[in-house]
Amino acid sequence: MCPAGTSRRCPFFFLFHLSKGDARCRSLLSEQDCFLLIQMRVLVIYESTMGRTKKMAETICEGVESAGPECRLVEASDFDGVVEECAVAIGSSTRMKKTLPRVRQILAELPEVDGLPAAAFGSYGWSGEAPDIIAEHLKNSGAALIDESPLKVKDHPYGRDLDSCRELGIALAKKCSPES
């Protein structure tokens, strides 16, 4: 049964048992036990100038959804925060050896994410620094990068590049599992 207020396409949830002393504990069941409900949803944020990084983001979401969890695909200009996601990926095209402006702003305002599984990705035409910059910001914010090397694609993603995007989505989805 889906929790009230969720979309028609019910996302997966896991119930974790927490000790009474855990700060996240809001026990409604008893004084001894409490549980934490984690929504099985991956957040993929992107900013793209020519549609290449957008294609990567869409394909990462395909990988996530093929493994079970829901994927929330958000263009950087519409980003409203990390809300109950179990993992996050942030991508940007490289422009003048930097991330694009809205992703740069998101990274500057990103709060501590305390071990949240994360990944960086992006496309480039010349130099490709944006994914590295994103990965460094995520790491400095406390994220647990699922791969030290961000996913980079020169020019348009095709064939193997898209396979790598799907694989990244699957890896993010696996980090949402309670066994990971």
Tens-digit pLDDT profile for residues 102-115: 999 999 998 888 89
pLDDT band with cut points at 50, 70 and 90 for residue 174: very high
pLDDT band with cut points at 50, 70 and 90 for residue 179: low
pTM, whole model, 2 decimals?
A: 0.80
pLDDT band with cut points at 50, 70 and 90 for residue 54: very high
The pLDDT of residue 42 is above 70: yes
Question: How many angstroms separate the CA atoms of 72 and 159, rounded?
Answer: 24
State the maximum Cα–Cα separation within the chain, in Å, rounded to a whole number. 59
pLDDT band with cut points at 50, 70 and 90 for residue 36: very low
Contacts of 102 (CB under 8 A, 6+ apart): 47, 76, 77, 79
Burial class (CB in 10 A: 0-12, 13-18, 19+), 25: middle
- Domains of the chain and any CATH numbers: 41-175 (3.40.50.360)
Question: How many angstroms separate the CA atoms of 6 and 139, rounded?
Answer: 31
